[in-house]
Amino acid sequence: EAQVTQNPRYLITVTGKKLTVTCSQNMNHEYMSWYRQDPGLGLRQIYYSMNVEVTDKGDVPEGYKVSRKEKRNFPLILESPSPNQTSLYFCASSFRFRTDTQYFGPGTRLTVL
């Protein structure tokens, strides 16, 4: 089954404790991205990757890191989480950059205390 998976789905952590949210897709998509979704603000892009070893900042990259060592995986790293990073996070992938449907993972609900 074609899908995007994320783990963990729910996470409660404390300020400053490094965490990684994994994202994996099995559709051989080149383009992957991370979004956060907050009430009233919609989906905002954090980072994206056009292909292996090619990553770039989105609209709200501060406090986040990513890596793309393999085509299928695109982890999101929070080196020192803060309460303002409490949000719902989605990973997405697509075959082409702009003209293609994006497939979203199930989301990770993160709470930083």
| Residues present in the chain in total | 113
Regarding 17 and contact with another protein (CB under 8 A), the answer is: no
Taking the complex as a whole, the smallest distance from the CB of residue 52 to another protein amounts, in Å, to 17
Q: Which stretch binds another protein (CB under 8 A): 13-21, 67-75, 77-85, 97-105?
A: 97-105
Shorter beta-carbon distance to another protein: residue 70 or 100: 100
DSSP 109: E
Q: Which residue type, as a one-letter code, is found at position 84?
A: N
Instruction: For 12, list phi and psi in degrees, rounded to 5.
Output: -115, 125
Distance in angstroms (rounded) separating the CA atoms of residues 113 and 111: 6
Using CB under 8 A, list all residues that contact another protein: 31, 33, 40-43, 45, 48, 56-59, 88, 90, 94, 97-107, 109
